[in-house]
Amino acid sequence: MKLITMKKATIKQCLVLTMTAMFFSSVLWAQGDKSTRPSPPATATGKVGGATITINYSSPAVKGRQIWGSLVPYDQVWRAGANEATIFETDKDINVEGKTLHAGKYSLYALPGQNDWTIIFNSQTGQWGIKMSGETTEDPAKDVLRVKVTPKKTTSPQERLTYTVDANGFSLNWENLSVPVGIK
């Protein structure tokens, strides 16, 4: 009788462990599918001169919110996207707004202002875009390049954040602004 009770207990433990493992594996698998996020991943790529520029970012939506000066405050460093820090990659040295940026992979941050913005290229990559406190993960000691640019009002609203890369550089486009960054 004792043997039967022990077998039932062992079977029950195995069943509970199997169900727990299945639950955790499904949770981990679901987290791996980034396309189902509210701010799905996106990529912009293109050629500027002889360099290939690639920007990997997560694309949040306006959803009726005021973005500039509210959701994204002025005069505070922003991760230039959602979720993980936005990644900017160039396969050749380039000139960004008159300053040299060496070939490589960088986290891209922005410091939005009402009249001008600072675009920040940071050597630390692979981090989540913000800390638990809500601040960005940008470490100023790892900034490689900072450039000033001027945002432009758009004629039509842009629901999702997008980046575009063209022969003149790249631009960040969202809500009612386009932020061009010149590259040669």
The pLDDT tens digits of the residues spanning 122-166 come to 999 988 777 777 777 789 999 999 999 999 999 999 999 999 999
Average pLDDT across the chain, whole number: 86
With 90 as the cut, is the pLDDT of residue 36 above it?
no
User: Where exactly are the structural domains of the chain?
Assistant: 1-32, 37-182
Rounded CA-CA distance 147/166 in Å is: 18
Provide the pLDDT for residue 20.
52
Provide the pLDDT for residue 56.
97
The pLDDT tens digits of the residues spanning 143-152 come to 999 999 999 9
pTM of the model: 0.79
With 60 as the cut, is the pLDDT of residue 19 above it?
no
